[in-house]
Structures are given as C-alpha cells and as structure tokens.
C-alpha cells in the first residue's frame, strides 16, 4: 500500500549501499553453499529489515545492521522455518520460538566473527522468549545451524 508521502528504496536515485567484507567469511560463498537465493527487497514497510521464504532471503538495502539481518534470515532457512512442511520433531514451532532460534543463530555468528550487533540480538531473543527458556532441542538446532552458516562462508582451505 502506497501513501502520498511514502516512497520505497527503488524510487530513489544513487548507487546501492555496498557492504564491507567480513574477515574470514564470505557472504556469497555461504549463500551458494547453503543453496539460498538472495532476492531483491520488495517490502513496502521500511521498518522491515529482511525476510525469508522457501530457500530465499531478501535484505533491506538500508537495513540498520545488514550482517545481523543476513544471519537471522539465513538461520530461518537453515532451521527449516520457511518450509511449508512440518518439522521432524512433531508440531510446528510457535513463532516466538522460531524468532528466538533465528536470532540466537545470528548472535553466535556475530560473536564468532567479532561483528557488532550482539547486544541487539540479546534483547530481541529476550523479547520473543518472554521469560521462557530455550528448550534443549532448540539449543541443539541453534548450534548446528550457526555451525552450518559459519562453515558455508569460510574463505580459504580451512573449511
């Protein structure tokens, strides 16, 4: 929905914002290894930082923390949150746990690569958990997904 005084990024002029490289981790290598496609960001909601669907992610070109958002959205794909089928361990997870899992993966990735944003991850996780604890099965899934994402983007022969 467009309003008279709203505009989307595609309606602006200028060069695309370029992200700096992450030492020892390559975004494009990770996307390719994880079989994840990056789509153009098409949400009219400027507050949306990114989204994931199927095996694809889209990151707002003016996202406040694009690396954090990339890890979060990749986590949704790797964790299977974007699949239409139910997960192996029974009923589908509630949205609050899916968001806490994805942000926990982002936290581990950011901390592992010494990138900024961990303090925001912690608040986001606490907000979605609302005082609840992360189940052990979710913790296992979080560590496995973070490991997969980090390994997928490693540069050089040390994969």
Q: In what order do the strands lie in the sheet with 37-38?
A: 37-38, 56-59, 50-53
For 156, residues 6+ apart whose C-beta sits below 8 A from its C-beta are 24
CA distances from 115 to 13, 65, 85 (A): 29, 10, 33
pLDDT digits (tens, 9 = 90+) for 97-156: 999 999 999 999 999 999 999 999 999 999 999 999 999 999 999 999 999 999 999 965
pLDDT digits (tens, 9 = 90+) for 34-66: 999 999 999 988 789 999 999 999 999 999 999
Alpha helices of the chain — where are they, by DSSP H?
Answer: 27-33, 66-78, 95-112, 118-129, 136-152
Q: Which one, of 94, 98, 109, lies nearest residue 146 by Cα?
A: 109
pLDDT digits (tens, 9 = 90+) for 142-151: 999 999 999 9
Residue 109, token pair as written in the block: 């990735």
Identify the residue whose tokens are 């912690």: 122
């Amino acid at each position: 929905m467009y309003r008279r005084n709203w505009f989307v990024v595609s309606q602006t002029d200028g060069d695309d914002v370029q992200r700096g490289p992450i030492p020892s981790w390559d975004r494009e290598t990770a996307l390719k290894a994880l079989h994840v496609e990056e789509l153009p960001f098409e949400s009219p909601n400027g507050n949306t930082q990114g989204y994931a669907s199927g095996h694809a992610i889209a990151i707002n070109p003016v996202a406040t923390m694009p690396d954090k958002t990339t890890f979060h959205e990749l986590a949704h794909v790797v964790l299977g949150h974007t699949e239409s089928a139910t997960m192996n361990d029974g009923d589908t997870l509630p949205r609050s746990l899916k968001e806490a899992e994805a942000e926990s993966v982002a936290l581990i990735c950011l901390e592992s690569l010494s990138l900024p944003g961990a303090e925001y991850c912690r608040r986001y996780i606490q907000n979605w958990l609302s005082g609840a604890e992360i189940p052990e099965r979710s913790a296992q899934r979080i560590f496995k997904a973070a490991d997969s994402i980090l390994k997928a983007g490693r540069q050089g022969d040390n994969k």
